[in-house]
Structure 1
Amino acid sequence: MKEIINPDSASSIELNENKIHFQNEYQYNTYICSIPMDFASVPVHWHDEFEMIVIKKGRGYVTLNFQRYKVSSGDIVIVLPGMLHSIEGKQNSTMEYENILFSKHFLAFDADDVTQQKFIDPFFNGDIQIRHYLTPGHTLYREISDIVDLLDEKSDERDYAYQLFIKGGLIQIIYLLITHPPKVNETTQSDKHEEKLKSIIRYISTHYYEDISIEEIADFCHYSPSHFMKFFKIHTGMSFISYVNDFRVTEARAMLTSTNDSILEISQKCGFSNLSNFNRMFKRKYGITPRQVRS
């Protein structure tokens, strides 16, 4: 079912692979998101689900494994499980996009099925080269865009057996992608950098409530502090401190709506030693104060 994203409950769904995208066994969901109204940007992250980003309005940028795509209304971006990606709007403008997410288990066949072995598993594992960026002028675009529209329609209607229709539509999209591969490999950056950045994000997700120094995280990466700061800035577009604070604020918003802890307790649990700093950073990201979230 398509829904407008609510920062009170969903703004943190994509910060790392441990977040929950689905509320039940039906592992398919869509969201409409708006930058900067819902959040200023989506920092670099990854997760285990397949994701399609469909630009509805405006312009911005989507980065996949260090490759930055300039996107505008109508464009479709394909994100495979495990791919590092981030989303940002164009400066001084708004961008609205639809997130379509589903688990690879949603389309699983029997393990011995030739379809599973020859196509589904290799597709989700990234072993089959596909196009990750589709514009309205591309050969595949109209077919995939029409399928997406039908999936949205069925998700909204939720009529009898709509789940079968959605599964069938997703299989069609995968078929189109794997039978129309790019002429060249779209992945241009090394896997070494990708894995290094993933290890950093994993570290942040399990230590964000601590006072993480540049020296500590640089030592974790076996980099000098100066080399680490340069590496992180180049590959995320943010300083390390800014990224950690953004992560903390996002976690705090989720806690504000899911716990009865006081605002002070939440700020401390998320790594802020100063309540005023927490309130200021929170309002900068969401445009409202923590107290207003609960009012």
Structure 2
Amino acid sequence: MKAFHENRLYHSIIPFTAFIAHNFNFLAHWHNDLEFIYVCEGTIRIGINSESRILGKGDIAICSSGDIHYYDSKDNESSILIVIFNPQLIGVPGGWPKNIRLTSPFFSNSESESREHQGMFVEKMTDLMLNLLRESEDQSEHYEMFITGMVFELCGTILRYANSEPADLKKDKRRMITMKIMQEVLEYLEMNYSRAITLEDVARQANMSIFHFSRFFKSITGMSFISYLNNIRINKAEEMILNTNRSMIDIALDCGFTNVRTFNRVFRQLRQCTPSDLR
């Protein structure tokens, strides 16, 4: 898993995928692809840029191109439908939406404000996303054309019914600078996780004070700096344990841990088992 910039590969004729995920967890990351989420059952916390929310059954989240987002299923059970596609499928390879910004990336039937209007929007989005999943799974004759048509309708529905505002160049510039800083920080952690990295190092990288950076980092990723770094390291270690015959001490050191004891403790904390249990 790339924890920072995901370059998605599609195993189909068109740049599109749809799938059901259970108790999904994924570190903060971003991509040019569009990612739409529908909660089928249970609850899950989803963060998009600096906003996070616990979503329940029937709720929807929309990740526009470049949005930094994460999934957190800790202490929650959930089943979610995820629809992902490259915006080139609708003729805007540079990113979508163009010239507008969604007021919020989260949509719920239960919200009191404009409930009827919101309910119609969520219902239409739900039907389209479920139909996209069926077409993707069945792959009946000419399914690619049906999927492409429904993707256009999905995006058109958002543009017509979702609350949005015209793009503000000044506000967008500030947002882009903020997201660029975080993207560079996440990329730095991904590339240097095997080294001894301190909070001070990364705050300096972002040109922020430690206090400001700590709050900024958690608001975007949903976790503390050390938790995020440990997640990257344990993800890498798990890959090595499952795919190589290297010793635990070598894996621990290569993943940035100073000793096996700390490695075992963090691994158990995040995976509820020991590294050796995987072999």
> Fold-level match, TM-score > 0.5?
yes
User: How far 1:186 sits from its partner (Å)?
Assistant: 11
Aligned pair in 2 of structure 1 residues 87, 207: CA closer, same or farther (>3 Å)?
same
What secondary structure sits across from 1:273 in the alignment? coil
- 1:178-197 map, 5 Å: 178-182=159-163, 184=165, 190-191=174-175, 192-197=177-182
What secondary structure sits across from 1:164 in the alignment? helix
Q: How many residues align?
A: 266
Question: What is the CA RMSD across the aligned residues, in angstroms?
Answer: 2.9
Aligned counterpart, 2:84: 101
One-letter amino acid matched to 2:107: L
Report the Cα distance in structure 1 between the residues aligned to 2:167 and 2:261, rounded to whole angstroms.
45
2:6–2:30 contact (8 Å) kept in structure 1: no
Choose which of 60, 66, 75 in structure 2 pairs with 1:76: 60
User: How far 1:235 sits from its partner (Å)?
Assistant: 3.5
Aligned counterpart, 1:274: 259
Cα deviation code 1:195-227 (max 9, x no counterpart): 222221111111111111222212212223333
2:38–2:60 contact (8 Å) kept in structure 1: yes
- 1:55-70 map, 5 Å: 55-70=39-54
Choose which of 148, 153, 162 in structure 1 pairs with 2:129: 148
Choose which of 110, 125, 128 in structure 1 pairs with 2:100: 128
Aligned pair in 2 of structure 1 residues 291, 94: CA closer, same or farther (>3 Å)?
same
2:132–2:147 contact (8 Å) kept in structure 1: yes
Cα deviation code 1:146-169 (max 9, x no counterpart): 111111112221222222221221
Choose which of 69, 76, 83 in structure 2 pairs with 1:85: 69
Q: Greater CA deviation, 95-104 or 164-173?
A: 95-104
Report the Cα distance in structure 1 between the residues aligned to 2:86 and 2:164, rounded to whole angstroms.
28
One-letter amino acid matched to 1:224: S
Aligned counterpart, 2:5: 17
Aligned pair in 2 of structure 1 residues 84, 284: CA closer, same or farther (>3 Å)?
same
Aligned pair in 2 of structure 1 residues 62, 28: CA closer, same or farther (>3 Å)?
same
What secondary structure sits across from 1:52 in the alignment? strand
Calculate percent identity across the aligned residue pairs: 23
One-letter amino acid matched to 2:149: G
Do residues 33 (structure 1) and 18 (structure 2) align?
no
Aligned counterpart, 1:175: 156
Aligned pair in 2 of structure 1 residues 201, 123: CA closer, same or farther (>3 Å)?
closer
One-letter amino acid matched to 1:231: F
User: How far 1:240 sits from its partner (Å)?
Assistant: 1.2
User: How far 1:55 sits from its partner (Å)?
Assistant: 1.0
2:100–2:167 contact (8 Å) kept in structure 1: no
Aligned pair in 2 of structure 1 residues 163, 204: CA closer, same or farther (>3 Å)?
same
Aligned pair in 2 of structure 1 residues 47, 255: CA closer, same or farther (>3 Å)?
farther
Q: Normalised by the size of structure 2, how large is the TM-score?
A: 0.81
Cα deviation code 1:14-71 (max 9, x no counterpart): x221454534664322343333xx6xx4332212221111112112322222122331
Aligned counterpart, 2:112: none
User: How far 1:98 sits from its partner (Å)?
Assistant: 2.2
Gaps of 5+ in 1: 1-11, 109-115
One-letter amino acid matched to 1:244: L
2:47–2:221 contact (8 Å) kept in structure 1: no
Q: Normalised by the size of structure 1, how large is the TM-score?
A: 0.77
- 1:112-123 map, 5 Å: 116=91, 120=92
One-letter amino acid matched to 2:105: H
Report the Cα distance in structure 2 between the residues aligned to 1:104 and 1:133, rounded to whole angstroms.
20
1:80–1:126 contact (8 Å) kept in structure 2: no
Choose which of 150, 159, 162 in structure 1 pairs with 2:140: 159
